[in-house]
Each structure stands twice: as structure tokens, then as C-alpha cells.
Amino acid sequence: MSKIIGIDLGTSNSAAAVLVGGRPTIIPSAEGTSIGGKAFPSYVAYTKEGQVLVGEPAKRQSVTNPEGTITGIKRKMGTDYKVRVHGKEYTPEEVSAQILRKIKTDAETYLADTVDKAVITVPAYFNDNQRQATKDAGTIAGLEVVRIINEPTAAALAFGLDKVGEHKIMVFDLGGGTLDVTIMEIGEGVFEVQSTSGDTQLGGRDMDERLMEFVLEKFKQESGIDLRRDSMAMQRLREAVEVAKIELSSVLQTNLNLPYITADASGPKHLSMTLTRAKLEELIHDVLQRCHGPMIQALKDSKLEKAEVGKIILVGGPTRMPVVQEFVKSFMGKEIERGVDPMECVAMGAAIQAGVLGGEVKDLLLLDVTPLSLGIETLGGVTTRLIERNTTIPTRKSQVFTTAADNQTSVEVNVLQGERPMSKDNVTLGRFTLVGIPPAPRGIPQVEVTFDIDANGIIHVSAKDLATKKEQRITITAPHKLSQDEINSKVKDAERFAADDLKRKEEIEVRNAADSLLYASEKMLKEAGDVATKEQKEKIEKAIADLKNAQTGGEISEIKAKTEALQNSIYELSSAMYQKAAQEQQAQQQSSQQSSGPQQDQSAGQSGPTVDADYEVVNDKK
Amino acid sequence: MAEDADVISEGGQGPDGAKLGPDELKVRLLEAQSLAEERLDLLKRCRADLDNVIKRSAREKEENVKYASEKLIGKLLPALDSLEQAAKHDEGAKVLYMQLLDILKTEGLVPMDEVGKKFDPYRHEALFQVKSKELDEDTVAEVIQKGYLLNSHVIRFCKVAVAKR
């Protein structure tokens, strides 16, 4: 069952994707990923030796073989133009076929299967000739082109905009060297192009040039040296500027450091400057201004007002820059769609279309996810998550919990939904009690709690005492269907209160730790017998009393300090006990009788796991 | 239409299936069979996808381990370039450069020495051409930025000037 792949055959870069497990996945280029991502440059080269190179290797040799290197062949598709290389003629279809053949090979390596069908994207303004030429290129490459779709349509598919009813969208596609603006109407799964506009000489490369010029001029002012004449320095600078530009998408300022960039009579020179996002914005301001025209034109041609455009999608690498996003947003007066990589969305949308045509995308296969995390309440009112949000269902997860008090014979399971760490801030979906646990010291019983969500979103929660095999369960049917807005607000709440919640959770953890330590210490004192000296015992008793006092006082820092104090005095005692045990073991080595030492060690060791609050189930019914 | 309505209402009653004539039963059987086939097909696709994802992730994991240091070393290269330049001016910097290079060599980093070799787009990136009488056409005349191999895999292409007669 070979798959149909989706191909974004671009002017400057190309990429391909395929549905894997119902999700579009970019097919990596055999040469590995470059700085721009998984796409590769749309370069084809015919060498003097008769070799054909495609992608990165073709680009790297372009300077040595300008007559044999072809770029931007997409602009010639559907024309009678012929490329003459080393005395041979090639049609644009044949050149494009080389790019498609490379994609076919990469896809076959990636999927470990033959690939002979594809969906290929073209610009919305391509005419029938150009579309036919693209189809023919596929045939030459050994690919049956099952459909040609428009690039903006593919982008909209990748963002899932075909599923949200009838509306109008704008696709702003800013590539390395071209800008395409498309306005489309979507309804009932039909995409209709209303208007297109653009600029074939405008793109990210202009912006890179501006930044480079600025750095060169500034260095010239400061040092009097023009780096343009130093190719080694230019190479280092170009790479550093590219890294800085990418960094400025996530931070407000970055440093450009190139020590020993060059030298003159007075000695070595260093380049060190700070670049801010504000400066970058200023530098590319006029490039951005040129994007206004095509947007206004596209709106005018579609006879729409800005307000009538419901959704905006950004496509192309340069639109990753916050300044470009901000520019489009403020012009249209509307938030832009997010969530899909702008460099990859066209190929991904083509892969989705391919999946539909191949019968792979069906309702049955659309797996759901749990919108919010699920868990149970544990000691101190803390939510312990068993299933994280966005887990694909059906799913199942178990975790073993224990009791919080001695001789606790029942546990209550409070099933919670939400992102907040404290139970009271989350929603209780249901609760039940598991009774009949045999009396035992805290931390000994093992209660396995299992969450099982079936394909319909129905949650089954069970708690099982592993000793008696007694079990209780609850089924929560369609717990209160949340709307997307409700989900978003809950997730936002969790982010908003993250700091407060963390503090409260820490407080509970301190209290739980104090509680566990008190329990373990008292137990140890009882068992220590004559190993502990009177002073040691008194010291521990005092530390215990102090900690209990602090607990009633309720001051967290105080509880923490006293817990540590008690811990230290316990360590003294336990090391004394270990020593004594070791001595006894030595003394009694000949006799078969084992000292009581190891047993005591064990009891001291056992208190370890109960310190961990996460492993204790709340008990309010004994 | 009328038949459809009948089927739906009878289906809803469950055990009334017995009232259906043989023809209708045949239709239902065929429907059920085609649905079963469709689902089996989907199941197979899912299994195949899963199987391939498992294989691929095992392969990717292997590669990730192999090139785990690649990302960090790649980020260190600009600093190595700076030290290499500094070494031309300063004895201390020279020792520092040698030390760092030696450490990176133990991780499998090998600097490429390419002058005079035939231009190879899988190892070199041509920045410009230079006229040369001594060197053959299409050989590396000058290295503008040193290239590096990590465990015999190019992590930075050697930026070169290529000879032209």
C-alpha cells in the first residue's frame, strides 16, 4: 500500500510531506536539514562531467558552473523556453522533473516503500499551461500527479481551515524572493480563489541584505575598514548575521561577536556589536512597506473590506519574524492563525490532500485527544496527573499509590480534570472509595489506580488493592463536553497562576515531608532501643517537639528549618545504628545468628518512599 | 426512500431482523462485509504506519546518538574560527586554539585540508572563482573558511575559491 506524497515545488525552495499515522510529516532531504529547516533549494545543476546535482550540492557548486546551474525554473513553467546547458537543451518540465525525482528518492528512503503518486502545489495564478507543465514534470520523474492544488489552498488545509464552516481568508506568502497575496472563500470543502496579487521581486533576501549593509557600515565607521574586500571576513560575518537574525525572532537583542575579524597596520580588529529587534525593524521598514500594495490590490480585486476577511495565514520563512507578523496583523486589524510552521505548511497541506485522495483520511481515523489533564487527588490536596493533556486516545495508564496513615483501611479516589496543581482548582469528575484494605503501617499497602479512556472519550477509573485484589471502579461518560474556548481559558488559567500554584504546591510538599519525617522519626526512636544514647534520644525528642510546634504555627520557612534540624539529628542516630550493626555483624560473624542491625536499617530506609507526597492517596474516611 | 425508512425502523427494534426477507438480508450482509473490509484495510494501514514509525524512530535514535555532539560542536565552530585568527597574532591564543582543537579532535572532529584538491560539491561550497596559471581548472585555489568533518560526516562545508584558467 504505497502512499501518495504531497509536494511543495517552490521557486527558491521545495519540500515534501506525507501522512504518517494521520499526521502530515515533512520528508527530510537526504543531505540533512539546513539552517532554514527541512526544505531544500530548488537548484538543478548539470556538470561538465554529465552528472546531475539537485538541491544543496547544486547550490554549492553554482559559482564554478554558472552556465550549468539552473534556479527559479518555476518561473518558466508552461512556456516554450529551453535551457541550453553544455550544448544540450532542456525543457522547464525536464528540469523540474529532476527536483521531483530527488523528492521521490528521498521519500522512498524515508518510507522504505515505493512512491509513485503525488499531489503537487502551484501558485493560485498559474494558468492551465503552467499546471499541465507541472503535471508533465511529475510524469517525467516517474510520479503520477493525482492532483494539482493551489499553494494557498494547501496552506489553509494545513491550518485545518476547511473544517470551520464558510468564511473568507487571506494567505500572505512571503518567500525568499517573491510575495503572493491570495484571498479565498472556503465553504463546504470547496476553495474558491477570489483574487491574487503579489510582487515577484520582494522577499526575505532583501531583508538579509539590509542587515548585512548596516553591520558593514557600522564597522566601517568604527574601524575605518571596509570588510567587503575581505572574503574570509565576509563569510564569517554572513553566517553570524544569519544566526543573529533568527535569534531576534525570539529575543529582543543579541550580540554579534567576531574577534580577529580582520587586521590592519595597527594590529588585529574585532567586531563586537549589539543588535536589537527594534533596529532590525527599522532597517526592513521600507521593505515591509512594499507589502502594502499587493494586500490593498488583492482586497480591492475581491471587492472585500478588511473586516470581511475572517482568517489570515502566513506562509514562507521570513514570516517567522515577529515584525512581519505584527505588520500584517496591524494592517488587517486581526490576529493571524498560528500553530503550523510557515515553511512547511504548503507541503503539509498537500500531504493532507494526498491522504484524502488515497482514502487515508476518514472520520474513523481521526483520533481524538484529551483536551485537559486527568489525575487524582493525593496527600495535601495535590493533583497527581496520570494522563497529560493532548494525549491521543484511546489510552490507558496505571500508577501504584499507597496510604497516608497507619491502619488506613480505605482510600478515596477523587478523579480530577484540569491543569492546576491543586485539586480544589480543578474539576471533580467523580469520586469513589475503595474499602477493605488490610490494616498496615502507612506506605505499605499498594493500591493500583488505572485510568482508561476509550475511543469515545469515556473514562474508566479503577482502584485495586494489590494484596487482596479488591477493586472499585467508576465510569465517567462524556464528562461535560468542553468547548474550545473553555479549554483555552483553563489552559491559560494554569499559565497565569503557575507561580502561585507552584508556591502552594511547594508548601504542601514541605508539610508532607515534615509529616513523613515525624512519623519515621517516632518509629525509629521506638525501635532504636539502647543503641541511641540518652542525649541522642532527648535531642531527637526535642527536634520532634519543635517541628510539631512549627506545624501548628504554620510558617512554611519555619517548618522547613525544623524539618532539616530533625533530619540532621536523625542522621546522627542512624549512622550510630549502622555502626553498631556493623560491629555486631563483625562480632557475630562466626555464629549463624544475624544481628538485629539490618532490620533496623531497613525500617529507617523504608521511611524514604513515604516522604514522596506523590505516592500517597488522600484518606479522609478511615 | 421508503425502503430505507423501513430498514432503519426495523434495525432499531433489534430482534425484528427475523422479519426481513432473504434479499434484504443479503443486502445487509454485503454492507456489513464491505464495512468490515474497509475497517480491516484501515487497521492494516494503521499497523503498517506504526510498524514503520517504530523502525524509523529506532534508526533516528541511532543517528541521534551518533551525532549527539554535532549540534554543540557546530555551534562552537565560529569560536574556533576566532581563535584560529587570534593565533596568528598572539602566542597565548595559539596555544588555546591548539588545546580546543585537540579536545574536539577526541570527539571525532577533523579539519579539512583542501587546497589543490578537485572541487567536490559534497565537501566544498564555491564562493568565487580565481584565475590561476599553476592550478588545474576546478581545483580548490584558496580556503576562505575551513570545513570540518565529524566522524567522517561533513558538519561544515569548506568555503572555497575555485581555480579558473
Catalytic residue at A151? Answer: yes
pLDDT score for A481:
57
Are residues B157 and A60, on separate chains, in Cβ contact within 8 Å?
Answer: yes
* Chain B residues inside the 8 Å CB shell of A4: none
ipTM score of complex: 0.70
* Substitution target from B82, B88, B162 for chain A, most A beta carbons within 10 A: B82
* Chain B residues inside the 8 Å CB shell of A62: 126
Do strands B140-145 and B158-164 pair parallel, antiparallel, or not at all (unpaired)?
antiparallel
Cα–Cα distance, A486 to A372 (Å, whole number)? 10
* Chain A residues inside the 8 Å CB shell of B157: 60
Per the structure block, which three cell numbers stand in for A568? Answer: 540532621
Cα–Cα distance, B70 to B151 (Å, whole number)? 9
> Looking at the partner chain, which of A57, A59, A232 has a beta carbon nearest the beta carbon of B144?
A232
State the nearest Cα–Cα gap between B106 and chain A, in angstroms.
24
Are residues B82 and A259, on separate chains, in Cβ contact within 8 Å?
Answer: yes
Are residues B144 and A231, on separate chains, in Cβ contact within 8 Å?
Answer: yes
User: pLDDT tens for residues A400-446?
Assistant: 998 888 888 888 889 998 888 888 888 888 888 888 888 888 888 88
> Looking at the partner chain, which of B42, B52, B86 has a beta carbon nearest the beta carbon of A364?
B42
Cβ distance A179 to A173 under 8 Å?
A: yes
Whether A450 has a pLDDT exceeding 70, the answer reads yes
Q: How confident is the model at residue A37 (pLDDT cuts 50, 70, 90)?
A: low
Catalytic residue at A334? Answer: no
Per the structure block, which three cell numbers stand in for B49? Answer: 504506519
Of A365, A302, A288, A267, which Cα lies nearest the Cα of A331? A288
* Any A CB within 8 A of B45 CB: yes
Cα–Cα distance, A148 to A154 (Å, whole number)? 10
Are residues A259 and B85, on separate chains, in Cβ contact within 8 Å?
Answer: yes
Percentage helix, strand, coil for chain A under 3-state DSSP, each rounded to 5 = 45, 25, 30
Torsion angles phi and psi, residue A321, rounded to 5: -70, 130
Are residues B86 and A236, on separate chains, in Cβ contact within 8 Å?
Answer: no
SS (H, E, C) A83-114: EEECCEEECHHHHHHHHHHHHHHHHHHHHCCC
Going from the C-alpha of A26 to that of each of A8, A18, A20, A307, A344, the distances in angstroms are 11, 7, 10, 34, 7
Q: Does domain B70-164 have CATH number 2.30.22.10?
A: yes
Q: Which residue has the cell 532539616?
A: A564
State the nearest Cα–Cα gap between A317 and chain B, in angstroms.
22
Report CA A557 to chain centroid distance, whole Å. Answer: 37
pLDDT score for A94:
95
> Looking at the partner chain, which of B44, B53, B89 has a beta carbon nearest the beta carbon of A267?
B89
User: pLDDT tens for residues A279-309?
Assistant: 999 999 988 999 999 999 999 999 999 999 9
Mean pLDDT lowest among A180-194, A553-567, B4-18: B4-18
Specify burial of residue A265 (Cβ count, 10 A radius: 0-12, 13-18, 19+): exposed
CA-CA-CA-CA dihedral for B78, B79, B83, B84, to nearest 10: -20
Q: Is B131 helix (H, G, I), strand (E, B) or coil?
A: strand
Of A350, A312, A437, A316, which Cα lies nearest the Cα of A147? A350
- Global pTM reads 0.67
User: pLDDT tens for residues A469-525?
Assistant: 888 888 887 555 566 777 777 778 878 788 888 888 888 888 888 888 888 888 877
* Chain A residues inside the 8 Å CB shell of B127: 63, 231, 235
Specify burial of residue A301 (Cβ count, 10 A radius: 0-12, 13-18, 19+): middle
State the nearest Cα–Cα gap between A432 and chain B, in angstroms.
35
Catalytic residue at A208? Answer: no
Cβ distance A313 to A161 under 8 Å?
A: yes
Are residues A20 and B145, on separate chains, in Cβ contact within 8 Å?
Answer: no
Cα–Cα distance, B21 to B11 (Å, whole number)? 13
User: pLDDT tens for residues A319-328?
Assistant: 999 989 999 9
Cα–Cα distance, A69 to A31 (Å, whole number)? 18
Give the other-Cβ count within 10 Å of A595's Cβ: 17
Mean pLDDT confidence for A160-177? 86
- The catalytic residue among A136, A173, A360, A377 is A173
Chain A residue with Cα closest to B130: A64
Mean pLDDT lowest among A29-38, A95-104, A151-160, A347-356: A29-38
> Looking at the partner chain, which of B81, B124, B129 has a beta carbon nearest the beta carbon of A60?
B124
Cα–Cα distance, A580 to A570 (Å, whole number)? 15
- Chain A residues with CB within 8 Å of chain B CB: 1, 20-21, 45, 53, 57-64, 110-113, 231-232, 235-236, 239-240, 257-261, 263, 267-268, 360, 362, 364-365
Q: Is A165 helix (H, G, I), strand (E, B) or coil?
A: coil
Q: How confident is the model at residue A204 (pLDDT cuts 50, 70, 90)?
A: confident
Of A567, A570, A551, which Cα lies nearest the Cα of A559? A551
